[in-house]
C-alpha cells in the first residue's frame, strides 16, 4: 500500500479551510427554446434567482449572448449560446483532508474517509472548496468514483486510472440484491450508520425491515424540483430499496444501520422520513418523505456515515473496508 507523504496534507492543527472568495466562474448554457426575455429564461432555468435579479446581472454586464456582452434584456432564439460571468463569491469554510483520511491506497484505488461538511464536487455555491480540489493537490490523477452528500461522512471511493473508475462505478451501480451479506466474497455492498428520530415502539432492537418507497421529483419553490417520496402512480419515479436495522434506542433518537441496494438521490434521508423517523436534525425531509419548501438539500444538521463497504476489484480480490465511526454514531457514545 502506498500513501502520500505526510507533507502532502494539511497539518492536524489546521483542520479547516477558512471561508474565502474564489475568482468567479463562467456558467455556459445553450437555449433549448426561444424566449421573449433572457432574464426570464434564466429565472425559469435557475430558480435560485428571480427575473429581477437576472435583470440586474444583465445591467452589470455579467451575461453574454453569442459572444456579445449584453447590458439590457433581449429576446432569445433556440440555439443561442449564453455565458453568465458570475463575479467572485465567498465559499464557506470546509474541513481539510489529512493523512488520517486515507482508508486504503494501492497506488490506483484510493478510498477516503470523507469528513462531514466537505462537498465532493462543485455545486451548491462551492467551486474550489471541494474534496476534488484538495485531492488534485496531492493525488492529481485521482477522481471520485461516486458522491456523498456534503454532510454525509465516511467511505468515498476514488481511483487514478480511468479504467478502474469505470469498473468501480459499474460495481457500485450494480450493488443490488435481496439480502445484504457482507460476508459474501464477491458482493459490492454499502452500509451506512445514522441517527434518526424515534422509530415506532414495535420495532425491536436488531430487527431489520425493508423499505421500497419509490423516489420521484416534486415541485420546490427554490429549486424548481426536488427528489422526494414519489406520488402513487408516478411513472417516472425511481424504484429504490433500503434495509434498516435498529441498533440502539433512546428516548429522543435511534441509532440505525442502513444497507442500500440502490443509490437514488437522498435515498437514505427520504426512506427514513417515509417511515416517520427522519434523520435526526435533517432540516429538509419531513415525516412522510416530503421536503420543506424553505430548505435546500445542501443544508446539514443530520448524522449519516458511510460505514462499511465490500468492493470487488478487477483482479477478483474482494476488499472489506470500514471507516471509523464519529463519536455521535458510536454505540458506546450514543
- The whole-number mean pLDDT for each consecutive block of 10 residues of the chain, a chain of 334 residues, reads 39 74 97 95 90 97 97 96 97 93 95 96 94 93 94 96 91 55 58 96 95 95 92 93 94 94 90 96 96 91 94 85 91 56
Residues 254/277, Cβ–Cβ less than 8 Å: yes
Residue 75 lies in a domain: yes
Which pLDDT does position 316 carry in this prediction? 83
| 314 part of a folded domain | no
pLDDT score of 268: 95
DSSP lists the bridge partners of residue 220 as: 224
Cα angle: 203, vertex 207, 209; to 5 degrees: 85
User: Are 230 and 300 members of one domain?
Assistant: yes
Of the three residues 173, 205, 235, the one that is the final residue of a domain is: 173
Residue 258: strand pairing partners:
192, 244
Spell out the residues 6+ positions from residue 96 whose beta carbon is closer than 8 angstroms to its own: 9, 10, 14, 15, 16, 17, 134
Q: What is the pLDDT of residue 312?
A: 82
| Pairing mode of beta strands 304-312, 152-159 | parallel
* Whole-Å CA distances, 4 to 102, 104, 105, 129, 167: 9, 11, 9, 21, 24
CATH of the domain at 147: 3.30.2350.10
Q: Are residues 158 and 98 in the same domain?
A: yes
232 and 210 belong to one structural domain: yes
Which residues, in sequence order, are bridge partners of residue 209?
Answer: 244
Helices (H) and strands (E) in the chain, counts: 5, 20
Same domain, residue pair 297 and 202:
yes
- The CA distance from 331 to 115, in Å, is 19
Q: Which domain holds residue 75?
A: 25-87
Predicted pLDDT of residue 174? 57
Q: Is 97 contained in some domain?
A: yes
Sign of the torsion angle spanned by Cα atoms 107, 113, 114, 120: positive
| Number of folded domains that form the chain | 3
Confidence (pLDDT) at 12: 44
Record the pTM. 0.86
Residues in the chain: 334
Amino acid at each position: 500500500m502506498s500513501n502520500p507523504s505526510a507533507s502532502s496534507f494539511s497539518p492536524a492543527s489546521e483542520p479547516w479551510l477558512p471561508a474565502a472568495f474564489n475568482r468567479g466562474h463562467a456558467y455556459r448554457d445553450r437555449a433549448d427554446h426561444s424566449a421573449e426575455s433572457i432574464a426570464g429564461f434564466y429565472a425559469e432555468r435557475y430558480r435560485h434567482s428571480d427575473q429581477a435579479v437576472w435583470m440586474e446581472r444583465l445591467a452589470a454586464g455579467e451575461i453574454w449572448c453569442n459572444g456579445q456582452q449584453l447590458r439590457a434584456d433581449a429576446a432569445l432564439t433556440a440555439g443561442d449560446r449564453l455565458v453568465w460571468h458570475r463575479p467572485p463569491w465567498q465559499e464557506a469554510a470546509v474541513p481539510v483532508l489529512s493523512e488520517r483520511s486515507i482508508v486504503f491506497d494501492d497506488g490506483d484505488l484510493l478510498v477516503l474517509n470523507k469528513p462531514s461538511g466537505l462537498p465532493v464536487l462543485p455545486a451548491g455555491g462551492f467551486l474550489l472548496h471541494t474534496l476534488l480540489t484538495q485531492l488534485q493537490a496531492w493525488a492529481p490523477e485521482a477522481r471520485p468514483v461516486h458522491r456523498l452528500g456534503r454532510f454525509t461522512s465516511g467511505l468515498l471511493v476514488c481511483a487514478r486510472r480511468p479504467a478502474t473508475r469505470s469498473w468501480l462505478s459499474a460495481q457500485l451501480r450494480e450493488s443490488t440484491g435481496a439480502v445484504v451479506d457482507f460476508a459474501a466474497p464477491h458482493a459490492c455492498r454499502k452500509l451506512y450508520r445514522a441517527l434518526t428520530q424515534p422509530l415506532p415502539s414495535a420495532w425491536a432492537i436488531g430487527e431489520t425491515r425493508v423499505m421500497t418507497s419509490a423516489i420521484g421529483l416534486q415541485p420546490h419553490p427554490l429549486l424548481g424540483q426536488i427528489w422526494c417520496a414519489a406520488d402513487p402512480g408516478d411513472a417516472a419515479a425511481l424504484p429504490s430499496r433500503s434495509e434498516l436495522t435498529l441498533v440502539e434506542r433512546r428516548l429522543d433518537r435511534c441509532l440505525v444501520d442502513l444497507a442500500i441496494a440502490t443509490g437514488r438521490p437522498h435515498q437514505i434521508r427520504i426512506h427514513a422520513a417515509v417511515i416517520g423517523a427522519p434523520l435526526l436534525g435533517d432540516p429538509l425531509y419531513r415525516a412522510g418523505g416530503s421536503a420543506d419548501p424553505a430548505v435546500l438539500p445542501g443544508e446539514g444538521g443530520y448524522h449519516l456515515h458511510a460505514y462499511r463497504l465490500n468492493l470487488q476489484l478487477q483482479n477478483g480480490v474482494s476488499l472489506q473496508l470500514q471507516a471509523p465511526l464519529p463519536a455521535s454514531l458510536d454505540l458506546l457514545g450514543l
